[in-house]
């Protein structure tokens, strides 16, 4: 079994690994590949791996307030 974390972070090495994994899957039916990412475009990878099964785990995002440096210092020291 191969686990590929943060598959959305593209690189030459990561793309090469995906190419090799796809080739290995055609030769070794017992091989299992798990791709994980919170922000992946899953449709692209499902199609690339010949309609591979998809497991979705629901989640949520936390709100973030963007502020300038002096405001961040003010709020951090506010009691």
Instruction: Express each pLDDT in 57-76 by its tens digit.
Output: 887 778 887 777 777 676 77
* Cβ atoms 7, 42 nearer than 8 A: no
Task: Tokens for 59, please give them.
Answer: 């989640």
Domain that holds residue 25: 2-77
Please report which helix (H) or strand (E) contains residue 19, including its range. helix 12-27
Over the stretch 18-61, which tens digit does the pLDDT of each residue have? 999 999 999 998 999 998 888 888 898 899 889 889 988 887 77
Return the percentage of the chain with pLDDT > 90, whole number: 27
Q: Which long-range contacts (CB under 8 A, 24 or more apart) does 67-71 make?
A: none
| Structural domain count, the chain | 1
């Amino acid at each position: 079994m191969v686990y590929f974390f943060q598959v959305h972070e593209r690189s030459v090495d990561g793309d090469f690994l995906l190419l090799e994994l796809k080739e290995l899957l055609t030769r070794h039916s017992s091989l299992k590949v798990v791709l994980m990412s919170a922000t992946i475009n899953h449709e692209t990878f499902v199609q690339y791996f010949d309609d591979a099964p998809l497991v979705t785990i629901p989640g949520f995002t936390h709100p973030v307030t963007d502020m300038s440096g002096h405001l961040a210092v003010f709020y951090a020291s506010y009691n």
